[in-house]
Amino acid sequence: MKLPVDVLAERYQNNIYSAAFNICRNPQDAEDVVQETFLKYYCIHKDFEDEEHIRAWLLRVAINKAKNQVLSFWHKNKQALDDYIETLAFETPESEDLFETVMMLPEKMRIVIHLFYYEDYSVKEIARILKISESNVKVRLNRGRELLKGKLKEE
Protein backbone atom coordinates (compact mmCIF):
# COMPACT_ATOMS: atom_id res chain seq x y z
CA MET A 1 0.00 0.00 0.00
CA LYS A 2 1.30 3.43 -0.93
CA LEU A 3 -0.87 6.54 -0.61
CA PRO A 4 -0.29 9.78 -2.56
CA VAL A 5 1.98 12.30 -0.85
CA ASP A 6 -0.58 15.10 -0.99
CA VAL A 7 -3.11 12.97 0.92
CA LEU A 8 -0.54 12.11 3.59
CA ALA A 9 0.67 15.71 3.82
CA GLU A 10 -2.87 16.89 4.43
CA ARG A 11 -3.42 14.30 7.16
CA TYR A 12 -0.05 14.18 8.95
CA GLN A 13 1.83 17.39 8.22
CA ASN A 14 0.95 18.95 11.58
CA ASN A 15 1.88 15.80 13.52
CA ILE A 16 5.24 15.54 11.78
CA TYR A 17 5.90 19.25 12.26
CA SER A 18 5.14 18.96 16.00
CA ALA A 19 7.48 16.00 16.41
CA ALA A 20 10.25 17.78 14.50
CA PHE A 21 9.75 21.06 16.35
CA ASN A 22 10.00 19.31 19.71
CA ILE A 23 13.46 18.15 18.74
CA CYS A 24 14.74 21.08 16.64
CA ARG A 25 13.08 23.87 18.62
CA ASN A 26 13.25 26.02 15.51
CA PRO A 27 10.32 26.56 13.11
CA GLN A 28 12.45 26.72 9.96
CA ASP A 29 14.37 23.57 10.80
CA ALA A 30 11.11 21.76 11.62
CA GLU A 31 9.64 22.84 8.28
CA ASP A 32 12.74 21.51 6.51
CA VAL A 33 12.36 18.19 8.32
CA VAL A 34 8.71 17.94 7.24
CA GLN A 35 9.64 18.56 3.60
CA GLU A 36 12.53 16.09 3.71
CA THR A 37 10.31 13.47 5.30
CA PHE A 38 7.66 13.69 2.58
CA LEU A 39 10.35 13.79 -0.09
CA LYS A 40 11.84 10.59 1.30
CA TYR A 41 8.39 8.96 1.29
CA TYR A 42 7.88 10.05 -2.31
CA CYS A 43 11.23 8.60 -3.41
CA ILE A 44 11.11 5.34 -1.48
CA HIS A 45 9.98 2.18 -3.25
CA LYS A 46 8.37 0.39 -0.36
CA ASP A 47 4.96 -1.10 0.22
CA PHE A 48 3.39 -0.45 3.59
CA GLU A 49 0.96 -2.73 5.38
CA ASP A 50 -1.62 -0.05 6.11
CA GLU A 51 -2.01 3.67 6.73
CA GLU A 52 -1.00 3.33 10.38
CA HIS A 53 2.28 1.75 9.25
CA ILE A 54 2.84 4.71 6.90
CA ARG A 55 2.11 7.18 9.72
CA ALA A 56 4.54 5.44 12.07
CA TRP A 57 7.19 5.34 9.33
CA LEU A 58 6.75 9.06 8.59
CA LEU A 59 7.10 9.95 12.27
CA ARG A 60 10.19 7.77 12.69
CA VAL A 61 11.84 9.34 9.62
CA ALA A 62 10.95 12.85 10.86
CA ILE A 63 12.38 12.16 14.31
CA ASN A 64 15.61 10.79 12.83
CA LYS A 65 15.95 13.71 10.44
CA ALA A 66 15.28 16.20 13.26
CA LYS A 67 17.95 14.56 15.42
CA ASN A 68 20.40 14.68 12.52
CA GLN A 69 19.55 18.34 12.02
CA VAL A 70 20.28 19.16 15.67
CA LEU A 71 23.56 17.23 15.60
CA SER A 72 24.73 18.75 12.31
CA PHE A 73 27.74 21.06 12.14
CA TRP A 74 25.56 23.79 10.64
CA HIS A 75 23.04 23.70 13.47
CA LYS A 76 25.69 23.68 16.19
CA ASN A 77 27.62 26.59 14.69
CA LYS A 78 24.91 28.93 13.45
CA GLN A 79 24.38 32.21 15.20
CA ALA A 80 22.45 35.41 14.76
CA LEU A 81 23.91 38.07 12.48
CA ASP A 82 24.30 40.51 15.38
CA ASP A 83 26.24 37.92 17.39
CA TYR A 84 28.43 37.15 14.37
CA ILE A 85 29.20 40.82 13.75
CA GLU A 86 30.33 41.18 17.37
CA THR A 87 33.00 38.51 16.78
CA LEU A 88 34.51 40.42 13.84
CA ALA A 89 37.24 43.01 14.23
CA PHE A 90 36.69 46.21 12.24
CA GLU A 91 39.29 48.93 11.77
CA THR A 92 36.74 51.73 12.12
CA PRO A 93 33.11 52.11 13.19
CA GLU A 94 32.34 53.09 9.58
CA SER A 95 33.67 49.70 8.39
CA GLU A 96 31.32 47.95 10.77
CA ASP A 97 28.35 50.05 9.62
CA LEU A 98 29.19 49.33 5.99
CA PHE A 99 29.44 45.58 6.67
CA GLU A 100 26.06 45.60 8.45
CA THR A 101 24.52 47.48 5.53
CA VAL A 102 26.00 45.02 3.02
CA MET A 103 24.55 42.13 5.03
CA MET A 104 21.07 43.68 4.66
CA LEU A 105 21.24 43.64 0.85
CA PRO A 106 19.28 41.03 -1.10
CA GLU A 107 21.26 37.78 -1.35
CA LYS A 108 22.11 38.03 -5.07
CA MET A 109 23.71 41.43 -4.64
CA ARG A 110 25.21 40.70 -1.23
CA ILE A 111 27.16 37.70 -2.50
CA VAL A 112 28.58 39.56 -5.49
CA ILE A 113 29.48 42.62 -3.38
CA HIS A 114 31.15 40.39 -0.79
CA LEU A 115 33.17 38.45 -3.34
CA PHE A 116 34.25 41.60 -5.15
CA TYR A 117 35.12 43.89 -2.24
CA TYR A 118 35.90 41.60 0.68
CA GLU A 119 37.42 38.60 -1.12
CA ASP A 120 39.04 40.57 -4.00
CA TYR A 121 37.70 38.41 -6.82
CA SER A 122 37.47 39.86 -10.31
CA VAL A 123 34.20 40.06 -12.23
CA LYS A 124 35.35 37.16 -14.41
CA GLU A 125 36.20 35.00 -11.38
CA ILE A 126 32.87 35.80 -9.69
CA ALA A 127 31.01 34.85 -12.87
CA ARG A 128 32.82 31.50 -12.92
CA ILE A 129 32.21 30.85 -9.20
CA LEU A 130 28.48 31.68 -9.35
CA LYS A 131 28.02 30.19 -12.84
CA ILE A 132 26.46 33.38 -14.21
CA SER A 133 27.52 35.70 -16.99
CA GLU A 134 30.03 38.51 -16.45
CA SER A 135 27.38 41.05 -17.47
CA ASN A 136 25.07 39.64 -14.81
CA VAL A 137 27.83 40.09 -12.20
CA LYS A 138 28.28 43.70 -13.32
CA VAL A 139 24.53 44.36 -13.12
CA ARG A 140 24.37 42.91 -9.60
CA LEU A 141 27.39 44.95 -8.53
CA ASN A 142 25.87 48.16 -9.87
CA ARG A 143 22.46 47.49 -8.32
CA GLY A 144 24.11 46.58 -5.03
CA ARG A 145 26.17 49.78 -5.06
CA GLU A 146 23.05 51.84 -5.76
CA LEU A 147 21.19 50.20 -2.87
CA LEU A 148 24.20 50.73 -0.60
CA LYS A 149 24.36 54.41 -1.55
CA GLY A 150 20.68 54.85 -0.77
CA LYS A 151 20.87 53.04 2.56
CA LEU A 152 24.04 54.83 3.65
CA LYS A 153 22.58 58.24 2.74
CA GLU A 154 19.55 57.46 4.92
CA GLU A 155 21.82 56.84 7.87
Q: What is the DSSP track for 14-51?
A: HHHHHHHHHHH--HHHHHHHHHHHHHHHHH-----SSH
Name the class of domain 81-154. mainly alpha
Q: Give the pLDDT score at 94.
A: 76
CATH of segment(s) 5-76: 1.10.1740
Q: Give the pLDDT score at 81.
A: 58
Instruction: Kindly report, residue by residue over 10-33, the tens digit of the pLDDT.
Output: 999 999 999 999 988 888 999 999
Domains 5-76 and 81-154 agree in fold: no
Whole-angstrom distance, CA of residue 62 vs CA of residue 37: 6
DSSP letter for each residue of 67-102: HHHHHSHHHHH---HHHHHHHS--SSHHHHHHHHHH
As a whole number, mean pLDDT of residues 114-118 equals 86
Instruction: Kindly report, residue by residue over 54-103, the tens digit of the pLDDT.
Output: 999 999 999 999 999 888 866 666 656 556 556 566 677 777 777 778 88
What is the CB-side half-sphere exposure of residue 105 using CA atoms within 13 A? 27
Q: Give the pLDDT score at 32.
A: 95
Domain limits of the chain? Answer: 5-76, 81-154
Pick 46 or 83 by higher pLDDT.
46
**In the predicted structure, residue 138 carries a pLDDT above the cut 90:** yes
**Rama region for 131: left / alpha / beta (φ>0; ψ in -120 to 50; rest):** left
What is the average pLDDT score of the chain? 86
Judged by average pLDDT, the poorest of 10-24, 106-120, 122-136 is 106-120
Whole-angstrom distance, CA of residue 144 vs CA of residue 101: 11
**In the predicted structure, residue 39 carries a pLDDT above the cut 90:** yes
Element (H, E) at 54: helix 51-71
Pick 35 or 47 by higher pLDDT.
35
As a whole number, mean pLDDT of residues 49-53 equals 92
Q: Give the pLDDT score at 43.
A: 94
